[in-house]
Amino acid sequence: MHSRFAPPLFALLTALALPVHADNYSVPKNHAFEEECASCHMAYPPQMLHADSWRAMMGNLSRHFGSDASLDEKRRTAITDFLVTQSGGRKTGDTRDARGTPLLRITETARFAKKHREIGAATWRRASIKSPANCTACHAQAAAGDYNERSIRIPK
Ligand code: HEC
Ligand code: HEC
């Protein structure tokens, strides 16, 4: 009898032990997104950009940060719908630049700058990191949506 109740209690205690600000950015399951958008880099969380940013990016995939990431129309539409539906709400903040153009990079958003203000330019350029977009270099559990302080390790 006792063991039947132990696991939920343990889960509850674990949840309570997490800091209040621990946002989770796990990527909702989507086959097309995983297949097409996680081969060159990790699957970035849709929650981190505003719907307008995703629409702008998905409207110009042949010129995607110097890469050609074009898709057939059916896949492009399906992935756009997924990204827009799961896109950031209140917490993402505005993901447009000063002129109102949607930003295409999570790493250019005000929220990203604020969260990473302690990281110097030389650190971003380290061979072990290469780019701010390389989240997994420092956030070991990024693939699971965990960007918490406890799982950060900045490589030398
Ligand atoms: C052919 C390779 C390739 C494919 C496929 C690809 N990307 Fe990218 N993506 C890149 C490159 C290269 C960058 C720039 C990375 C950097 O600056 O380090 C990038 C950057 C990004 C960024 C910005 C990261 C930042 O700086 O915040 C987002 C968001 C993104 N991709 C989303 C997507 C989505 C959504 C798809 C699927 C529709 C996709 N990518 C498919 C190559 C690709
Ligand atoms: C050079 C290492 C490094 C890279 C690369 C990096 N981060 Fe971070 N990130 C950090 C550090 C350090 C913090 C700050 C931890 C603190 O002070 O709370 C942080 C904080 C965060 C936070 C806030 C976590 C919280 O609990 O408040 C988020 C979200 C985040 N990063 C997302 C990303 C994403 C998304 C990417 C890739 C697009 C990325 N990071 C790339 C090192 C990095």
Single pTM value for the model: 0.89
Angstrom distance (rounded) from CA 54 to CA 70: 14
pLDDT digits over 73-88, tens only? 999 999 999 999 999 8
List, in sequence order, every residue forming a beta bridge with 67; answer none if it has no partner.
64
Judge whether 61 lies within some domain: yes
Residue 13 DSSP label? H
104 and 151 in a single domain? The answer is no
Angstrom distance (rounded) from CA 57 to CA 67: 12
Q: Which ligand is nearest the CA of 112, by number?
A: 2
pLDDT digits over 7-27, tens only? 555 555 454 444 445 578 999
Q: Are 102 and 56 in contact (CB under 8 A)?
A: yes
- Residue closest via CA to ligand 1's atom 2 equals 40
CB of residue 44 inside a 6 A radius of ligand 1: yes
110 and 127 in a single domain? The answer is no
Q: Which domain holds residue 36?
A: 29-115
Judge whether 15 lies within some domain: no
Dihedral angle over CA of 60, 86, 141, 148, nearest 10: 120
